[in-house]
Structure 1
Amino acid sequence: MTPSFSVAHTTRRCLALVATALLAACGDPSTAADPAQPNDAALARQVRNTTSTIQVNVSGLPSGTAAAIGVTGPNGYARTLTGTATLTGLTNGSYTFTAASVIAGGSTYATSPTTQTVSVTKGATATTSFVYGVVVTTGSLGVSITMPDATPASVTVTGPNGYSAALSSSASLTQLSPGTYTISAATVTSALGVSLVPTPVSQTASVTAGATASAAVAYAATNVTPTPGLNLQILGMYITQSVQTMNGGVPLVSGRDGVLRVFALANASNTARPSVRARFFQNGTLVSTLTAAAPAASVPTAVNEGSITASWNIVVPGALLQPGLTVLADVDPDNAVAEDLETDNLFPVSGTPRALDVRYVPALAVRFVPVQQGNGLLGTISDANAAAFLTRTRDIHPLNAVTSSTRAAYTTTLNISSDGTNWSPLLGELRALRTADGASQNYYGVAKVSYSSGVAGIGYIGAPVSMGWDYLPSASEVMAHELGHNWGRQHAPCGGVGGPDANYPYAGGTIGVFGFNVRLNQLLSSSTADLMGYCSPTWISDYTYLGVMSYRGTSTTSATITSASVQPSLLVWGRIDADGEIELEPAVRLTGRSVLPARAGNYTVEATDAAGNTIFSVSFDPDQVADESNTLDDEHFAFMIPVSDAAQARLATVRVRGKGRAAERSARGSQAALDAAAANASVRANGVGRARVQWNATAYPMVVVRDAASGEILSFARGGSADIAAAGADVEVVFSDGVRSASRKVKVGGR
């Protein structure tokens, strides 16, 4: 990503209002002013009218890094600035500012433009700004290599400054100096003795700073073992459950159905229609034999992975796909086709079954949250249609067991818009909701919108909360995308995404290899867009698939630790915007499972008593929001911090600080006033399944409404009046003065 720069000039003229009074009086002539000499006031006016000021604002550099801005002007004026400064007493005229690049933390920072001219006259004050940004000086090259089997490729990349890299498979080369790179590919020989020839043999790619160039090399078998007559062989096979490489490099999910693709070839044109047999072994014991009839009227003479009729395809039941499984395939197992050579029909040709990489993966548990907005729109989601939302996720992601449930509806007083307005704040409310619930499932909010084109979803990178609209079937695609973010994936570079993944290996955000929809028996082209971009149609690349599998299977990066015990705790939550400003929501005391950061970070939340004594102090890093408009800077946090009754009584201030910023909330008034506010809350039925809650918003801008029976939060309500989706006869309203809380269970009037 290249830096963005801004330059602003504003001129503010100082206006002096001079009032002159003419007085007629008799007095001592010795007190009269000498008309030839200006008095102090006149001199001050003269100085102000003949000198000028320039305010220079400097930003964008890491803390502690000095700028390098040279200033020259009239009468030999010269000065060097290292940061924001005010230049005073300047002679009227033009001043030239020249900003040099600086290096900090291994990165080069510069402004654009580097030179500015500012003119000031007659006591004016001008303002100019220099915004530094990182200068990208290197680029990347994605090299896609396709092979008909597991044989390693032989590709060499050479370039400026003696650069050289040997590749045996697809790779993304980063931190490259700009210039021309040559990609050379050599013929290799497979384990079957078949020559695999690359196309093209040589090509060049131009790498520019801040961009990713691409190159592709495709290997193909020149022939099978030659014989005077017909000869059949298998040159490759793999099992795919969603996406796979020709060498079978994508691990398989235990217990999930897959499709075995076997690539049998003939040495000459033919009309043969042999079958293919696959034998599966577990710990050396034959456990299953599956057979596929010929998919076409003849046996191909070259591998064509892009055609579903160019391979023998066998559905492999998930029950068979377990760790320790091996497979051996043979073409024409019943010798129905006359061949000159009958001894080379096995794959692997050695006769030793190929080991399959089959792995257990954790089950996915999703808790859907119907979201009711302030405008009354309620997302359409229930146990009845939940499967439709999960269809795309089941098809493409490395999953087997998937379960879902639907939570009580959550009511927000926000309204979300097609341009992204309020999507991030609402996501923050859902993050706090999951924290207060002490839940272990992925939370997915479902909202109804009044538009059909615009923002459709949002989610965290690496945290289990996201949301999307309820338009099916596109809602299923949106959910699969947002879950990808939750599992650590950034955007694929397609469709003008914000924060694209710099390591994505395939140019244009394509999947780069062939995908397969097992449910529909559908082959997906390698040019299909990856679901983590904004292009369509979509599938999943091996890069994204492996990233998700790694995150879910081996990741220890969970941002929080949830306790098993239930205890009085303080819900502390808020957000940090793109400018680093911290917004701290009112803290609320609830009874639930504690949810604490798993590790220390750059921010600290702390509580103190009236004397400044620390009650608790917790270090954390916030959750990063993806899918914002060209930014990944918005961040959220939410924790349930255990607080005893005694500590709660002492609470005076809750503060969040980090990266030079801070926000705090302090107790206001007395506990008695809080209790009185809770006692005065009004709750009445407002239609079927809804309750209207009213309170004094001037004193308490936000209240928490909970189902009195289940304890589930129904709303973080704001504004003094809210219509809550509440089916129960009683609700609990929790008031907070920012630090302390008071609650009251209220029967819903009219029920």
Structure 2
Amino acid sequence: MRRFLPLLALLISCSSAGSSGGAPPLGNGGSGGSTVVETGPLATGMAIGEVSINQGVKVKLYSAEEGDLADLNAPIVQGRDALLRVFFAPKADWQPHRVAVRVTLQNGGGEPTVLEIQGVPSGPSNDEDITTSANFDIPGTRLDGTLAVRVEMLDVEAGEGDTAGTTWPAEGERLFNEQSGNGAFQLKVIPIRYTAGGVDYEPDLSEDTLKGIRYDFLRQYPISAVDLSVGDTLTWAQQVNANGNGWQQLLNKIVSLRDSDPSPNVYYFGLVKPAASTASYCAGGCVAGLTYISKDSLDASLRSSIGLAFGDVQNGTMLHETGHAHRRTHAPCGPYGQLPDQIDPKFPHPKGSIGVWGYDLLDRTLRSPAEYTDFMGYCEQTWVSDYTF
């Protein structure tokens, strides 16, 4: 269940700003083969500080301190676009000069693709400033379960110093070991015509609204695509009150519709607009959504949720409630998320933080773990954590 306090109803629309963005000064490696100019030997005075891949949450693959990381904090998803970041780690003898970061990608036994970025690093890279690293876009079509990568730092201009730590892996290449996303995520929206008490309200399901729903799921769910459909309108004449009365009855109706659908992998979401606005419905606090959390992962009938169809809370509620339909419980953030019997005891990050740096693949901005909390909690500024992803 998702609830809002009166204050949250006023503030929730302020939670979409990114932390950082823009094109890095060293350029972006793009997604195809690049023209590689002749470079010199391995870079001098500079090392690879870190290599990470981000499809929504940062997954560290290598760091100079920890070495090669095999036990990853989140899956790498087949078919989903990704950002590969290579961090610079200047050594004590670093003298600024032009270097190249070269990334070689190879699928199975196919021909390798070489991507390259050149520039003069101004200092060490860091998470919060995307312009400090060498960044490479990897299209989802390359992440087919066979993709391997190799990273090298090379001198373009002559430099001085040792060349240790300028290749990853030290020998050969590293497989990404992508996990199957099982095709497009299938979501069916059920528009609810609400007529209780003499009103007549329906959700806005314009093309722009549907695009927004699709994009928000693409941004934060570990999926490669969204197959979004709209079902027949359901007329509902029973009260659905802000205090929770009537919500279960409406959810049961959506569950019955989902149960009659022979396609087990379609998630149903009923959108209801029981008042003119969020402000009028949630003035004293309100329930914003409801889902049964199934104990059986194969029970398709409980892949069903309902939520408010007010534009300022709608998509966040859909992400949260559909998370429950995937059998996720609450992250420990916000007054309701902190009830002991509602918190996921395995959630690893304090105060519901996303834990690692997030990245919006669509608007190309970062999400700070110091500022953003997991959308399965009840705080205002949300993203997906590496645990939920």
TM-score interval for Structure 1 and Structure 2 normalised by the shorter chain: 0.7 to 0.9
Does the 8 A contact of 2:100 with 2:156 survive in 1? no
Displacement after TM superposition at 1:352 (Å): 1.7
Give 3-state SS (helix, strand or coil) of 1:322's partner: coil
Pairwise CA distance, 1:372:
1.2
Structure 1 or 2, whichever has the larger Rg, is 1
The alignment partner of 1:319 has SS state of helix
1:396 shift after superposition = 0.9
Between the aligned partners of 1:478 and 1:337, the Cα distance in structure 2 is 55
The answer to whether the Cα contact below 8 Å between 2:47 and 2:163 also exists between their aligned partners in 1 is no
Q: Alignment partner for residue 256 of structure 2, among 432, 440, 444?
A: 432
- In structure 2, what is the equivalent of residue 456 of structure 1? 288
Give the corresponding residue for 1:158: none
Paired residues of 2:121 and 2:132 also in contact (CA < 8 A): no
- Does the CA-based 8 Å contact 1:366-1:405 persist in structure 2? yes
Which residue of structure 2 lines up, in the alignment, with residue 391 of structure 1? 215
Is this contact kept in 2: 1:273–1:299, CA < 8 A?
A: no
Counterpart residue type for residue 386 of structure 2: D
1:324 alignment partner in structure 2: 146
Q: Is the 8 A contact 1:232 1:264 kept in 2?
A: yes
Q: How many residues align?
A: 312
Post-superposition CA distance 1:558-613 (Å, at most 9, x none): xxxxxxxxxxxxxxxxxxxxxxxxxxxxxxxxxxxxxxxxxxxxxxxxxxxxxxxx
Tell me the amino acid that sits aligned with residue 303 of structure 2. Answer: P
Deviation at 1:425, TM superposition (A): 1.7
What SS class does the counterpart of residue 141 from structure 2 fall into?
A: coil
Q: Given the superposition, is the C-alpha separation of residues 316 and 437 from structure 1 closer, same or farther in structure 2, using an over 3 Å criterion? A: closer
In the alignment, the residues of structure 2 paired with residue 479 and residue 327 of structure 1 have an alpha-carbon distance, to the nearest angstrom, of 36
Identify the residue that residue 128 of structure 2 maps to in structure 1: 306
What runs of 5+ residues in structure 1 fail to find an aligned partner? 1-228, 546-751
Q: Secondary structure at the match of 2:188?
A: strand
Match of 1:277 in 2: 102
In 1, distance between residues paired with 2:58 and 2:311? 28
1:341 partnered with 2:162: yes
2:180 maps to 1:360? yes
- Secondary structure of 1:315's counterpart equals strand
Corresponding position of 2:363: 520
Query: How far apart are 1:299 and its partner, in Å?
Result: 3.1
Letter in 2 for 1:360: S
Matching residue of 2:137: 315
Contact residue 143 and residue 178 of structure 2 kept, 8 A: yes
Q: Distance in 1 between matches of 2:373 and 2:165?
A: 39
Q: Tell me if the contact between 1:256 and 1:318 (Cα under 8 Å) persists in the aligned partners.
A: yes
CA distance in 2, matches of 1:258, 1:326: 14
Note the 1:141-540 alignment, pairs <5 A: 231-247=45-61, 249=72, 250-268=74-92, 271-283=96-108, 285-294=110-119, 298-300=122-124, 304-332=126-154, 335-342=156-163, 344-348=165-169, 350-362=170-182, 363-373=184-194, 374=196, 375-381=199-205, 385-440=209-264, 441-450=266-275, 451-452=277-278, 453=282, 454-462=286-294, 463-472=302-311, 474-496=313-335, 497=337, 498=339, 499-527=342-370, 528-540=372-384
Q: Cα–Cα, structure 1 residues 285 and 531, in superposed 2: closer, same or farther, change >3 Å?
A: same
TM-score if structure 2 supplies the norm length?
A: 0.74
Cα distance in 2, alignment partners of residues 327 and 436 from structure 1 = 46
Q: How big is the shift at 1:536?
A: 2.2
**Letter aligned with residue 483 of structure 1:** T
Change (3 A) 1:291 1:471: farther
Tell me the CA shift for residue 285 of structure 1: 4.6
More off after superposition, 400-409 vs 334-343? 334-343
Q: Residues 377 and 331 from structure 1, CA distance in 2 versus in 1: closer, same or farther, beyond 3 angstroms? A: same
**Against the structure 1 CA distance between its residues 270 and 475, is the aligned structure 2 distance closer, same or farther, given a 3 Å change threshold?**
farther
Q: 1:377 to 1:290 in 2, by over 3 A?
A: same
1:108-156 Cα distance to aligned partner (Å, 9 max, x none): xxxxxxxxxxxxxxxxxxxxxxxxxxxxxxxxxxxxxxxxxxxxxxxxx
For structure 2, list consecutive stretches of 5 or more residues without a partner in the other structure.
1-42, 62-68, 295-301
Whether the aligned pair in 2 keeps the contact of 1:382 and 1:406 (CA below 8 Å) is no
Instruction: Return the offset for 1:341.
Output: 2.6
Q: CA deviation at 1:464?
A: 0.8
8 Å Cα contact 2:97-2:159 kept in structure 1? no
The equivalent of 2:23 in structure 1 is: none
Q: 1:448 & 1:293 partners in 2: Cα distance? A: 53
Superposed CA offset, 1:40-74 (max 9, x none) = xxxxxxxxxxxxxxxxxxxxxxxxxxxxxxxxxxx
Measure how far apart 1:504 and its partner are.
Answer: 0.9
Alpha-carbon shift at residue 271 of structure 1 (Å): 3.8
Instruction: Tell me if the contact between 1:236 and 1:264 (Cα under 8 Å) persists in the aligned partners.
Output: yes
Counterpart residue number, 1:63: none
Once the two structures are TM-superposed, the CA of residue 377 in structure 1 deviates from its matched residue by 1.4
Specify which structure has the bigger relative contact order, considering alpha-carbon pairs within 8 angstroms and separated by 6 or more residues. 2
Aligned 8 A contact 2:258 2:303 in 1: no
TM-score of the two chains, using structure 1 as the length reference:
0.40
Counterpart of 1:377, as a letter, is Y
State whether residues 53 and 59 of structure 2, in contact with CA within 8 Å, keep that contact through their aligned partners in structure 1: no
Secondary structure of the residue aligned to 1:371 is strand
Name the SS of the counterpart of 1:455 in structure 2: strand
Q: Which has the higher helix share?
A: 2
Would you say the 8 A contact 2:47–2:164 is kept in 1?
Answer: no
Tell me which amino acid in the other structure corresponds to 1:459.
Answer: T
